[in-house]
Amino acid sequence: MTNVAILGYGVVGSGVSEVIRRNRENIRIKAGDEISVKYILDIRDFPDSPDRDLIVFDPDVIFNDPEVSIVVETIGGTGAAYEFTMRALKSRKHVVTSNKELVAAYGPELLQTARENGVNYLFEASVGGGIPIIRPLNQCLAANEISSITGILNGTTNYILTQMKKKGEDYTNALREAQKNGYAEANPAADIDGFDACRKIAILSSIAYNEFVDYRGIYTEGIKNITIEDMVYADEMGAVIKLVALSRRENDRIFARVSPVVLPKSSPLANVEDEFNAIVVKGDAVGDAMFYGRGAGKLPTASAVVADIIDIVRHPGDIGRNNWVRNGNNNLVDIDDTETRMFVRMKAKDPSRAKEMAQNAFGGVEFVRTGKINDENEIAFTTENMKEGRFKRILSDVRNSEAISDITSVLRIFEEK
Amino acid sequence: MTNVAILGYGVVGSGVSEVIRRNRENIRIKAGDEISVKYILDIRDFPDSPDRDLIVFDPDVIFNDPEVSIVVETIGGTGAAYEFTMRALKSRKHVVTSNKELVAAYGPELLQTARENGVNYLFEASVGGGIPIIRPLNQCLAANEISSITGILNGTTNYILTQMKKKGEDYTNALREAQKNGYAEANPAADIDGFDACRKIAILSSIAYNEFVDYRGIYTEGIKNITIEDMVYADEMGAVIKLVALSRRENDRIFARVSPVVLPKSSPLANVEDEFNAIVVKGDAVGDAMFYGRGAGKLPTASAVVADIIDIVRHPGDIGRNNWVRNGNNNLVDIDDTETRMFVRMKAKDPSRAKEMAQNAFGGVEFVRTGKINDENEIAFTTENMKEGRFKRILSDVRNSEAISDITSVLRIFEEK
């Protein structure tokens, strides 16, 4: 019998307890041992919960009990979660978490502490909810040199963008509906500004490239400025607009970015709709492999947490799978030094002069027209591939031109490399 | 240092050697030990190969060498492959294979022999080529009760169906092109008749439901009879035609089937084109998770073989993950007792009488019309959900009706359960 303690009886924590209870027999077969929840730490009590008798308020009960070999941290954030995780590891208890903030911020320290104490720190549930992605990267694709990871890693923003596209709703209404349906939180900043996806791509990159990628160095842009008109243009170009997190190995450095992109419909990520997530991994042997499913939610996330628990029960001695060393941000390529094609929309005072000016300034632009937007002063075009730094300098010149009254949208165009 | 021997230097065997050589350092990090190929068994020699010095003709060299701890079987088939696998396991060497015929036919015996000898028999590469699917089922989704598996498991047939749809080529030409481009073998029967997909769904089902599913009991139908006209009708119904392998838990039995189906475009499998494979797994906690990638090919398949090798190096003591007991075919539901909607096309001598007759015979059919097929005598309709046995009895009555001259197509309609 393996005894587990859960820290934090919120959505994920209660889901973990539910999955362990519901699928006890199947889990016993897969783990080779029975798994049981002995304690749940919370500051609230839950008189109506089936787990009410397991609730404890004193963390020492857990850390001092030698029968508890695995601790599940589902508190979230980097405060108590950090402190309790450290204490659990130093008490030589394995820790499993769904807490992407903590892994992205303190992964190197926590992994080192785990190694020093002969235990594991596993976090499959921190990325992609129930979608198996971290174990596949670490194990199933272990024979590959991974060259890139591209993902729709945030369900909230994907749900909002899908609603906008399908129903023609503007961003504000789509966000409100997402909040009403439980796909967005009351304070949705972490999702819509791209911070959540940023932490996730940092974690995946650290695993794929065998070196710690600090999320604080990753260029991150959210979806607040996306409009229905942008989507109409994207459709005209045979594309959709998605919030895409990507990272690529470029020589001995890493390029990572989170931003909305114009994504060709031929991309397997273009069909990922609603709250679903998907991750495409490119390896030198496997080619493209894609993993798709629900990126959040109580039971999907709990499913991933319990998979980590089962892994530890089967392989208690397999520690030190990840060895992240903090090295500053200097393994990341500066966004200005990365290349992309851009999509630009602007309002012109003098459309024909504005077009000529854009053509001259950027060189080789392609104009995009759509019959669905009837505004003589609207100009839209795509540039050729160029360094972002150069693009910005040219754009700032263009912005000052008298032929232009406003630059409405600037969006990166996603291209396979 | 872990020494590996490869049996059979064909496409996959040489790929395994190539991947181990090329990604030596990355593999060492992931496995925690260096992995090296010591011998390659073949009856040919390969004077121009970088592996020429490793070739041996005598299997005893391998089985008697205590330094070889892992044997890779990439011979294929169930003859020498069976004999050598048994000998390797009895020599207490772990065996890794890509050989789906052998796993599907002798899985229970080989797994038992492995257990008895304290070693592992792993076969990630037997299904889905490089797509991680067996390890995810066994480990990542271990906390779930799996209720169904649905997959496009054969790249050859998917390539042919995609060519037919995109280029309007008939089956014979599309097959010829697939052969020319290396996507179909000279003797393509195993692929186009569905046998390959059948073995793969049998293997996946055995893992997902923790009991051996014998492929010989699975209803299997290939794609030979699919026509462009069927695809035109499918398109009219907002669907595509795909060869889908599926299995579902139905109470204490298992329903498994391989057949072409009319698949709604809203299904994530509908967008899987060309030679790609994809597998959707439905679990009670995770919901739907999809795995997508190249289902065949030298390096993708080798990538999966090497992942199994790395797993064994990391977890030499983790044996007995699968425990399959041969129990006859009686855990499978008879195809006649399974329910489905059907799509039927027929040529009528008297169209209005034929329609009335179909309506009366099947009850509640919906007629499908397409402007692209101008044949007054053509009638197409879909039935309601009904047992296949009942459908067949009614269809045989209809076939004998004087109003009908021929039944052109009968296709199952895929519906989510």
pLDDT in tens, A101-124: 999 999 999 999 999 999 999 999
pLDDT confidence of residue B326: 87
Q: Residue A230 gets which letter from DSSP?
A: H
With CB atoms and an 8 Å threshold, state whether B144 touches A303.
yes
- The residue annotated as part of the active site, out of B38, B200, B282, B298, is B200
Compute how many other C-beta atoms are within 10 angstroms of the C-beta atom of residue B342.
22
Sequence-separated (6 or more) residues with CB below 8 Å from residue A176: none
pLDDT, mean of residues B118-145: 95
With CB atoms and an 8 Å threshold, state whether B291 touches A290.
yes
Measured at the CA of A307, the angle between CA B70 and CA A124, to 5 degrees, comes to: 95
Please identify among residues 167-206 of chain B the ones whose CB lies closer than 8 Å to any CB of chain A: none
Q: Residue A242 gets which letter from DSSP?
A: E
Sequence-separated (6 or more) residues with CB below 8 Å from residue A314: A31, A32, B315, B318
How far apart, in Å, do the first and last CA atoms of chain A sit? 49
With CB atoms and an 8 Å threshold, state whether A124 touches B140.
yes
Residue-wise pLDDT tens digits, B369-406: 998 888 889 999 999 999 999 999 999 999 999 999 99
With CB atoms and an 8 Å threshold, state whether B303 touches A283.
yes
- Smallest Cβ–Cβ distance between A29 and the set B30, B210, B299 belongs to B210
pLDDT confidence of residue B322: 85
What residues in B contact A268, CB-CB < 8 Å? 271, 292
DSSP A60-109: HHHHT-TTEEEEEE---SSSHHHHHHHHHHHTT-EEEE--HHHHHHHHHH
**What mean pLDDT is reported for chain A?**
95
Residue-wise pLDDT tens digits, A285-336: 999 999 999 988 999 999 999 999 999 999 998 988 888 988 766 799 999 9
- The residue annotated as part of the active site, out of A38, A93, A165, A200, is A200
Q: Using the predicted structure, report yes or no on whether residue A3 has a pLDDT greater than 80.
A: yes
Mutate to test the interface with B, among A21, A120, A140 (most CBs of B within 10 A): A140
Q: ipTM, 2 decimals?
A: 0.92
What residues in A contact B288, CB-CB < 8 Å? 293-294
What residues in A contact B135, CB-CB < 8 Å? 135-136, 139-140
pLDDT confidence of residue B205: 97
What residues in B contact A20, CB-CB < 8 Å? 143
Please identify among residues 131-150 of chain B the ones whose CB lies closer than 8 Å to any CB of chain A: 131-132, 135-136, 138-145
Please identify among residues 235-274 of chain A the ones whose CB lies closer than 8 Å to any CB of chain B: 268, 271
- Label the pairing between strands A378-382 and A55-56: unpaired
Higher pLDDT, B415 or B279: B279
Residue-wise pLDDT tens digits, A60-106: 999 999 999 999 999 999 999 999 999 999 999 999 999 999 999 99
Task: Indicate the residue type of A214.
Answer: D
Residue-wise pLDDT tens digits, B2-52: 999 999 999 999 999 999 999 999 999 999 999 999 999 999 989 999 999
Judged by DSSP in three states, A224 sits in coil
With CB atoms and an 8 Å threshold, state whether A136 touches B139.
no
A200 counts as catalytic: yes
pLDDT confidence of residue B188: 93
**What mean pLDDT is reported for chain B?**
95
Q: Which of B285, B204, B209, B275 is nearest to B246 (CA)?
A: B204
pLDDT confidence of residue B365: 95
pLDDT confidence of residue B328: 66
Residue-wise pLDDT tens digits, B176-200: 999 998 889 889 999 999 999 999 9
With CB atoms and an 8 Å threshold, state whether A26 touches B145.
yes
* SS3 assignment for chain B: CEEEEEECCCHHHHHHHHHHHHCHHHHHHHHCCCEEEEEEECCCCCCCCCCHHHEECCHHHHHCCCCEEEEEECCCCCCHHHHHHHHHHHCCCEEEECCHHHHHHHHHHHHHHHHHCCCCEECHHHCCCCCCCHHHHHHHCCCCCEEEEEEECCHHHHHHHHHHHHHCCCHHHHHHHHHHCCCCCCCCHHHHCCHHHHHHHHHHHHHHCCCCCCHHHCEECCCCCCCHHHHHHHHHCCEEEEEEEEEEEECCEEEEEEEEEEEECCCHHHHCCCCEEEEEEEECCCEEEEEEEECCCHHHHHHHHHHHHHHHHHCCCCCCCCCCCCECECCECCHHHCEEEEEEEEEECCHHHHHHHHHHHHCCCEECCCCCCCCCCEEEEECCCEEHHHHHHHHHHHHCCCCEEEEEEEEEECCCC
Buried b / exposed e over A213-252, threshold 16 CB at 10 Å, is bbbebbbbbbbeebebbbbbbbeebebbbbbbbbbbbbee
Query: In this structure, are residues B148 and B205 in contact, taking their beta carbons and an 8 Å threshold?
Result: no
Question: Binning pLDDT at 50, 70 and 90, where does residue B364 land?
Answer: confident
- Smallest Cβ–Cβ distance between B145 and the set A23, A268, A310 belongs to A23
CA atoms of B336 and B122, how far apart (whole Å): 34
Q: Using the predicted structure, report yes or no on whether residue A417 has a pLDDT greater than 80.
A: no
Taking the CA atoms of residue A281, residue A283, residue A288 and residue A294 in that order, the dihedral angle to the nearest 10 degrees is -20
Residue-wise pLDDT tens digits, B54-71: 999 999 999 999 999 999
Residue-wise pLDDT tens digits, A139-184: 999 999 999 999 999 999 999 999 999 999 999 999 999 999 888 9
HSE at residue A56, side-chain half, CA atoms within 13 A, is 15
Please identify among residues 97-126 of chain A the ones whose CB lies closer than 8 Å to any CB of chain B: 124
Residue-wise pLDDT tens digits, B277-331: 999 999 999 999 999 999 889 999 999 999 999 999 999 988 888 889 887 667 9
Task: Determine whether A173 is exposed, middle or buried from the number of CB atoms within 10 Å of its CB (0-12, 13-18, 19+).
Answer: middle
Residue-wise pLDDT tens digits, B351-362: 999 999 999 999
pLDDT confidence of residue B166: 95
